[in-house]
Chain A
């Protein structure tokens, strides 16, 4: 069964600190992995998209990594800001399909 598991479920950090969110998946055959940021009451916004051949991609203070062999990805946030408080969702797409398989997300709270 195609699944995407994220950890931790929630995380609280102080402003300015770094953090890393984890994503494990069992989707096969793999096509691509995306990280989205979803603010409360808003739609998801794409942060990064990685295909099989990519193992890292950055978008400002966000850096995603992908290990297609172990089927793991991480999202590293550097120098967190209050505006980073949101749900971060890992999404995997299977090759040949358009459907996205969503993780439940990690809720990040950045406090001052």
Chain B
């Protein structure tokens, strides 16, 4: 149980394009979803927290207009990296929570901007 699916697993695109990453909770309803970014050999850094039907809460230093988050249902959240540039290349991971102790992670999306 508690499976989180993240899609795509890998994306390579040109600088200036926008990229959408989906995060789905397959067998539970996620009241809260989280988006993280991880650079090589670094820990996960929380970017934003989203609750279904409301605006996401962004961490300090994360541009909300750059990283658009939509949490339209209890099983789906999307992260759109707008006008992506090479410095946005990273490993993006989502997690979904159905309770205070529960946070289930997706398998991540490797984003490479050329």
B103 near A42: Cβ-Cβ < 8 Å:
no
User: How many pairs, one residue from A and one from B, have CB atoms within 8 Å of each other in the complex?
Assistant: 41
| Candidates A42, A99, A104; contact of B43 at CB < 8 Å | A104
| Candidates A43, A44, A99, A103; contact of B46 at CB < 8 Å | A99
B32 near A98: Cβ-Cβ < 8 Å:
yes
A41 near B43: Cβ-Cβ < 8 Å:
no
Of B12-20, B63-71, B73-81, B105-113, the one touching chain A: B105-113
A89 near B100: Cβ-Cβ < 8 Å:
no
Chain A residues with Cβ below 8 Å from B108 are 41-43
Indicate whether B25 reaches chain A with its CB closer than 8 angstroms.
no
Indicate whether A73 reaches chain B with its CB closer than 8 angstroms.
no
Interface centre among B4, B49, B107 (most CB of A within 10 A): B107
B110 near A43: Cβ-Cβ < 8 Å:
no
Within 8 A of A (CB), among B66-101: 91, 93, 95, 97, 100-101
B44 → chain A, closest Cβ, in Å?
5
Within 8 A of B (CB), among A44-95: 44-46, 49, 51, 89
Chain B residues with Cβ below 8 Å from A35 are none
Interchain CA distance A90-B7 in the complex, whole Å: 26
Indicate whether B60 reaches chain A with its CB closer than 8 angstroms.
no
Interchain CA distance A27-B107 in the complex, whole Å: 27
Chain B residues with Cβ below 8 Å from A12 are none
Interchain CA distance A78-B105 in the complex, whole Å: 25
* Chain B residues packing against A (C-beta within 8 Å): 4, 6, 32, 41-46, 49, 91, 93, 95, 97, 100-101, 103-108, 110
Cβ contacts A to B, 23 pairs, < 8 Å: A32-B101, A36-B105, A41-B108, A42-B108, A43-B4, A43-B93, A43-B95, A43-B105, A44-B44, A45-B105, A46-B104, A89-B43, A89-B44, A98-B49, A98-B100, A100-B46, A100-B103, A102-B44, A102-B45, A103-B43, A104-B42, A105-B43, A107-B41
